[in-house]
Amino acid sequence: MSISIRPFDGNFGAEVIGFDFETNGNEDTFQLLRDAWVEHAVICIRHQKIEPEFFLKLAKIFGEPIPQLINHKAFALPSHPVISVLSSGHVDTLGSGKPINRGGSWHSDHSNTPQPPSGTILHALQLPSQGGNTRFTNQTLAYENLSSDMKKKIEGLKAKHVYQSKYSTRKMPTRSKVDEAISPTSFHPIARTHPVTGRKAIYLNPVRTETIEGMNETDAQVLLDELLAHSAQDEFQYSHEWKSDDVLLWDNRQTMHMAAADSHLYDRERRMHRLMIKGDTPF
């Protein structure tokens, strides 16, 4: 059985039809998946009733899996520590004791690291009967729809990415003293070039982007807010409605994402496994 790629309605994203390791797990198929990931920015493979070892095998199609850097032990799957467990039941054990706000605002994963993950993969293990969507923005489309003047304005500018921006409304989980010491700060271009396509994208993370190199913080925040408002327009968005056993992969180099702020609707735990793919230094 061959696989096919069916684009979602809208401007980006696609579903992979007919993929199964046992019947078509070969290099030709893997290359088709890699190409679809880059072309569509978000791809979904449904009906994947797979164990962690096969989830890890699937991730390796796209690159080298890497563990979560901060609070790794708290969320690692014991049998496969490179896999993180994301649960709506997790609480901030080192801080407030309240439920952790999992991705409840626009962000790109681990952008404060020198080489942020190129991709992130989630496997839906258990879902509430309503709520829990994940929304995405296509930052390549957002960049390409900037005015010529704005493109010139941000060319060559680098933003400072930290563990948590002091301007962020979303609070990250409290870190241990050890994790505080190893939390990196990085400067990345706002107009980021995709290493495969050569297309540029707006590379921001409101949770971690604190200021812009060489600019006073007030002016930097005005510009960052303007770019975020532009990026978050409906025409650049896709909202993924999860189904059990979905595997969803996105390209962090050209998207932001956020979880819907509707956990109050959950009638049971939302539980997923996550893997991230090693990336390169943004340029």
Q: What is the CATH number of the domain that holds 250?
A: 3.60.130.10
Q: Is 0.95 surpassed by the pTM of this model?
A: no
Mean pLDDT calculated for residue range 201-212: 96
Q: Which residue has the tokens 């992979």?
A: 16
Q: What is the pLDDT of residue 105?
A: 87
Element (H, E) at 187: strand 186-189
Count of domains for the chain: 1
Round to whole Å and give the CA distance between 26 and 205.
Answer: 36
Q: What is the pLDDT of residue 72?
A: 66
Mean pLDDT of 217-233: 97
* pLDDT for the residue numbered 247: 98
Q: Are 205 and 111 in contact (CB under 8 A)?
A: yes
Residue 196, domain member (yes or no): yes
State the average pLDDT for the chain: 90
103, part of any domain: yes
Does the residue 272 lie in any domain?
A: yes
75-101: average pLDDT: 71
Q: Identify the weakest region by mean pLDDT among 78-82, 185-189, 252-256.
A: 78-82
Higher pLDDT, 103 or 217: 217
d(CA 136, CA 119): 13
* pLDDT for the residue 22: 79
Q: Give pLDDT, residue 172.
A: 66
Q: Is 247 exposed, middle or buried (0-12, 13-18, 19+ CB in 10 A)?
A: buried
**At residue 264, does pLDDT exceed 80?**
no
pLDDT of 69 reads: 74
Per the DSSP assignment, residues forming a β-bridge with 29 are: none
Of 52-66, 126-140, 229-243, 251-265, give the lowest mean pLDDT range: 251-265
Domain-located, residue 149 = yes
pLDDT number for residue 95: 46
127 sits in which H/E element: none
Confirm whether 134 is domain-assigned. Answer: yes
Region 79-105: what's the mean pLDDT? 68
Q: Over 90: is that where the pLDDT of 217 sits?
A: yes
Asked if the structure places residue 153 within a domain, the reply is: yes
Question: CB–CB of 158/189 below 8 Å?
Answer: yes
Range name among 138-142, 164-168, 268-272 with the lowest pLDDT average? 164-168
Confidence bin at 93 (pLDDT 50/70/90): very low
**pLDDT at position 90, please?**
54
Note whether residue 57 is domain-resident: yes
**Mean pLDDT, residues 108-119 taken together:** 97
Q: Is 202 left (phi over 0), alpha (psi -120 to 50) or beta?
A: beta
CA angle 69, 71, 73 (to 5 degrees): 95
Find the domain containing 254 and state its range. 4-277
| Tokens found for residue 183 | 């939390």
In the structure, what pLDDT confidence band is assigned to residue 277 with cuts at 50, 70 and 90?
Answer: very high
Q: Is position 283 within any domain?
A: no
**Would you place residue 175 in the very low, low, confident or very high pLDDT band (cuts 50, 70, 90)?**
low
The answer to whether residue 219 scores a pLDDT higher than 80 is yes
pLDDT at 281: 98
